[in-house]
Amino acid sequence: MTDQNTNIQQLKNQVSKFTEERNWGQFHNPKNLSMSIAIESSELMEIFQWLNESVSWDIMSSSEAIHLEEELADVMIYCLSLANQLDIDVSTAIDDKIKKNGIKYPITKYRTK
């Protein structure tokens, strides 16, 4: 069980332990994991497929809330598994990407008043 103060490395360790205990590493190559991310992402998208925008904002008060959380968790677990297999520091990768996006999409150009 994790709490709201769990960091990314702790989650990576938890996912790694779960995977190792089941000997799933043999199946967790970059190709399979990237495909699993796409598959689980499409299952997440399916929840919203026919909803209008206002209903999509209210999803967490619907009967689909738990399903949504589970599919989001599946996407994240596979992302963390891929990061584990390729030894990617997710925190650094995110930080670097946000900095790069800050240059590509400057506030002065995209911020509306």
Domain extents in the chain = 8-88
**Residues sharing a CB contact under 8 Å with residue 21, sequence separation 6 or more, in sequence order:** none
Residue range 55-82, pLDDT digits in tens: 999 999 999 999 999 999 999 999 999 9
Q: In tens digits, what is the pLDDT along the chain, a chain of 113 residues?
A: 556 788 999 999 999 999 999 999 999 999 999 999 999 999 999 999 999 999 999 999 999 999 999 999 999 999 999 999 999 999 999 999 999 999 999 999 988 76
95: which 2 tokens? 């930080």
Which listed CATH number (2.60.40.1930, 1.10.287.1080, 3.50.50.60, 3.30.565.10) goes with 8-88? 1.10.287.1080
Distances (CA, A) of 50 to 8, 37, 43, 53: 33, 22, 13, 10
